[in-house]
Amino acid sequence: MTTVSILGAGAWGIGLALTSERAQNDTTLWSYFEPEIQEIKSNGENSAVLPGIKIPKSIHLTSDLKKAAKSNILLFVTPAQAFRKVLRALKPHLNPESYLIICSKGIELETNRLLSEVMEEEAPDFSACVLAGPNFAREVALNLPAAATLASDYRDQSLWLCNSLSHDRFHLNPSTDVKGVELASAVKNVLAIASGLVTGAGLGENARAAVVTYGLNELTQLSLQKGGHINTVLGFSGIGDILLTCMSATSRNMKLGLDLGSGKAIEQLKKEGSPLTEGAMTVKALIQMAQPLGQRMPVCQAVYRVLYEGSTIEKELRNLFSHPLEVSI
Amino acid sequence: MTTVSILGAGAWGIGLALTSERAQNDTTLWSYFEPEIQEIKSNGENSAVLPGIKIPKSIHLTSDLKKAAKSNILLFVTPAQAFRKVLRALKPHLNPESYLIICSKGIELETNRLLSEVMEEEAPDFSACVLAGPNFAREVALNLPAAATLASDYRDQSLWLCNSLSHDRFHLNPSTDVKGVELASAVKNVLAIASGLVTGAGLGENARAAVVTYGLNELTQLSLQKGGHINTVLGFSGIGDILLTCMSATSRNMKLGLDLGSGKAIEQLKKEGSPLTEGAMTVKALIQMAQPLGQRMPVCQAVYRVLYEGSTIEKELRNLFSHPLEVSI
């Protein structure tokens, strides 16, 4: 029996633990926070993040990283900014044959590095795998059907992992484009802000679809420049996740865009206690990443100027419309 | 001054007439139905399709095809099944230097031909251009920002036409992929039904995004087989239009899917007076088009089986999930 550890007991960690269990794996859920483990042990759920979702007793619970380290497959669902720290703590206890799969989304802000690049630095003996797709955690936890991409540098590894973690309501699609999957996940948070900005400003659904299309094009260009593959853009972790995140009602990034687009100032939002979202932070990293490659990032730059330089989405949209799509003719 | 005729005074015809006028063209709006022209003349609007949208006096109105034929640019916005008839009636009056742009969406059902192929047959001296994108007619009529693709076989022609019809709130992106643009427009109506089916059956947003992603992949494959280009899939008439049609609330195709997905039988819908939508008809044509090319069309086939063979979307989704994406690895 394959053993699987999920590192992080937030909403997505719980969703992944439940789906791993359904795929007949011996599953362990780890949290850094012992009280979180205690709550799940006593109430059978993590009511702060997924109220009403019961976690069966067959899933092992622990806050001991050494125990979690022993599994065949480890899924990292910690916050992106905690990834390096957890990996360092874990490393001495790892089995060299284990597979490490990054399910966290985002860029390490201090270094502008993708999490697979952080893993290359911290654990160069392991080859980073990545899992991403259009997956609201609650729906996966409820066993509603969902699909995602699982990428590894090695085709056979990817196929074996897909096979181990899939079941009839959770389809994993194999890929060998680790960086492409990670980039798409980072960019889509920025596009969700852009989508919210357009909607918040009352510019309509045509304009929103147009802006997301511009954004998809710059993601494609950046991804190709970084060695990614067009199929990733067309897959679950590319357009699939963008469909979900940019067109559905309520991601935190979308909400930030909606608030700013409808005229609230960012200072006001901070006063009201809304923290800056992942997308608001990664937008800088993406622009910096694209610069040495000579890659224009017009939607990222538009979002950046609205967030940090007092521009408006109306003005930025006129600017976008003055250029054709990068891939146009 | 460039002269532009819009053939068809439905919602999208009016939207295009207004945007052509805003782009400083001398614009004529033609309708086959003289009473429709009379209503616009006396009330300043076509209240049946776009109530409250005023059509300025500067737009010429006519039901005389000979008058409409004289313009530099002709935009066809007639129903797809009337396209051949209108083109035949128009042909003797055409200026050989005029540009003919297909803005109708769909396939001629009797022949399984794309409208550009109908034009090749009926008016071989003209090279068909196509305009398509994420464009709700009412939003364009209201001058909210929108973008679309305009394709011609000839790059210079495409650029000139984009320039003639664009303005600061209506961006046309040049393309040389006429067939790719047409195919995307036809497929997206089927994907909208699929999207509605998943939602109507209560399968959630993850499943919807997954199914649309599968659909986008088969569109890509079919399009490439027919000589289309990947950039078209990534552009306004591809993913842009799919974002709008498959994720927004209320297209007629989506509504059909919602009704069927929530358990209504197609016979009941017909009794209630709901006609089959464009997508419900083109799905057969698309499957037939793909067959000699050896191209699998799993989402089209799933929609076909639910519509015409009593299958359910739950069953079809299990079937989809048993295959990887065509473009996956």
Q: What is the pLDDT along chain A (329 residues), one digit of tens a residue?
A: 999 999 999 999 999 999 999 999 999 999 999 999 999 999 999 999 999 999 999 999 999 999 999 999 999 999 999 999 999 999 999 999 999 999 998 899 889 899 999 999 999 999 999 999 999 999 999 999 999 999 999 999 999 999 999 999 999 999 999 999 999 999 999 999 999 999 999 999 999 999 999 999 999 999 999 899 999 999 999 999 999 998 876 788 999 999 999 988 888 888 877 767 888 889 999 999 999 999 999 999 999 999 999 999 999 999 999 988 865 44
Q: Which residue in B142, B204, B235 is closest to A328 by CB distance? A: B235
Phi, psi for B310 (deg, rounded to 5):
70, 15
Distance CA B268, CA B56 (A): 43
Rounded to a whole number of angstroms, the distance between the first and last alpha carbons of chain B is 52
Q: Nearest-CA residue of chain B relative to A178?
A: B329
Question: What does the angle CA A283 – CA A285 – CA A287 come to, to the nearest 5 degrees?
Answer: 70
pLDDT for position B266: 82
Beta bridge partners of B4: B27, B73
Interface with B, mutate which of A167, A176, A206, A244 (most B CBs under 10 A): A206
- Chain A CB contacts of B220 under 8 Å are 234
Distance CA B318, CA B70 (A): 54
B205:A325 CB<8 A: no
Q: Nearest-CA residue of chain A relative to B238?
A: A213
Predicted complex ipTM = 0.95
Distance CA A198, CA A211 (A): 8
Distance CA B62, CA B44 (A): 14
Mind listing the pLDDT tens digit for each residue in A200-214? 999 999 999 999 999
Interface with B, mutate which of A243, A245, A317 (most B CBs under 10 A): A243
Quick check: is A188 catalytic? yes
Helices (H) and strands (E) in chain A, counts: 16, 10
Mind listing the pLDDT tens digit for each residue in B285-297? 999 999 999 999 9
Distance CA B78, CA B3 (A): 19
Largest CA distance in chain A: 60
pLDDT for position B326: 65
Q: What percent of chain A has pLDDT over 70?
A: 98
A236:B210 CB<8 A: yes
Q: Nearest-CA residue of chain B relative to A177?
A: B329
Q: Which of B177, B189, B225, B206 is nearest to B299 (CA)?
A: B189
A329:B241 CB<8 A: no
b/e code B281-299 from CB counts within 10 Å (16+ = b): bbbbbbbebbeeeebbbbb
Interface with A, mutate which of B138, B159, B162, B206 (most A CBs under 10 A): B206
Give Cα separations from A260 to A193, A318, B146 (angstroms).
9, 18, 21
**10-residue averages of pLDDT along chain B (329 residues):** 97 98 98 95 95 97 97 96 96 96 91 94 97 97 98 96 97 96 93 96 96 95 92 95 85 89 85 79 91 93 95 95 71
pTM of this structure: 0.94
Q: What percent of chain A has pLDDT over 90?
A: 84
pLDDT for position B324: 81
Distance from CA of B195 to the nearest CA of A (A): 12
- Chain A CB contacts of B247 under 8 Å are 243, 247-248
Which two structure tokens, joined as six digits, stand for B146? 């929108």
